[in-house]
């Protein structure tokens, strides 16, 4: 199979089930931003050690990256067509459980923090902001057609997860949080 098809050379792409749309369509923006977030997460994880407790952390991210891929597929599926791997409430609950586990090891926030610290934590903050954009793009679709509300909920929770994960990485690796100077 060739990686290039030439079918997008005139500014259109195919959604799932072959529906052609402009490459700037809201759905394309939304699932493209999910892809970007997935890549940012992959970059962040590449900065982490590969042994010990990090293997479980990496496994959590493998699940998350797979779900984010499924969200992209769901966003690429036109209204009225069957979704291959729909996102469910259990997926949101998984993120909430992981947030609570990591947050239990962290000091309570008393003011805003700036992104930074270990390169993995910094990259997780970048991923968090990309996920927020994916969430906004997904909400934009709802102005014209329905989107599974759990997709938006998952993206919202995923950005929370990435924030806490960045803090947890800095904590585990002994990097201080950068506090906002007022």
Q: What is the dihedral of CA 59, 64, 65, 67, to 10 degrees?
A: 130
User: Domains of the chain: which residue ranges?
Assistant: 12-176
Question: Is the CATH number 3.60.21.10 carried by domain 12-176?
Answer: no
Helix axes 119-141, 26-46, angle to 10 degrees: 170
Average pLDDT, the chain: 87
Per-residue pLDDT of 122-138, as tens digits, reads 999 999 999 999 999 99
C-alpha to C-alpha distance for 74 and 71, rounded to whole angstroms: 5
pLDDT at residue number 24: 62
> Residue 19 above 80 pLDDT?
no
Neighbours of 106 (CB within 10 A): 13
* % pLDDT > 90, the chain: 61
Q: What is the pTM of this model?
A: 0.88
pLDDT tens profile 74-101: 888 877 667 777 899 999 999 999 999 9
Q: Is the pLDDT of residue 140 over 70?
A: yes
pLDDT band at 6 (very low <50, low <70, confident <90, very high): low
Which has the closest alpha carbon to 93: 101, 82, 104, 83? 101
Residue 61 has pLDDT above 70, yes or no: yes
Bridge partners (DSSP) of residue 20 are 14
Contacts 24+ apart (CB under 8 A), 78-82: 78/15, 78/16, 78/17, 78/19, 78/27, 79/145, 79/146, 81/16, 81/17, 81/19
* Tokens 């759905």, residue located: 27
């Amino acid at each position: 199979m060739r990686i290039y098809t030439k079918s997008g050379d005139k500014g259109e792409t195919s959604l799932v089930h072959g529906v052609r749309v402009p490459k700037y369509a809201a759905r394309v923006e939304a699932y493209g931003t999910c892809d970007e977030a997935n890549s940012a997460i992959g970059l962040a994880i590449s900065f982490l050690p590969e042994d010990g407790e990090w293997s479980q952390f990496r496994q959590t991210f493998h699940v998350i990256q797979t779900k984010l891929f499924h969200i992209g597929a769901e966003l690429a599926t036109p209204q009225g067509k069957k979704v291959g791997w729909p996102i469910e409430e259990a997926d949101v609950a998984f993120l909430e459980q992981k947030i609570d586990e990591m947050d239990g090891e962290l000091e309570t926030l008393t003011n805003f923090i700036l992104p930074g610290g270990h390169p993995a934590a910094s990259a997780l903050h970048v991923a968090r902001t990309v996920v927020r954009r994916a969430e906004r793009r997904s909400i934009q679709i709802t102005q014209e057609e329905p989107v599974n509300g759990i997709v938006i909920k998952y993206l919202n929770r995923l950005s929370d997860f990435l924030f806490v994960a960045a803090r947890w990485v800095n904590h585990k690796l002994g990097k201080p949080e950068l506090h906002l100077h007022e």
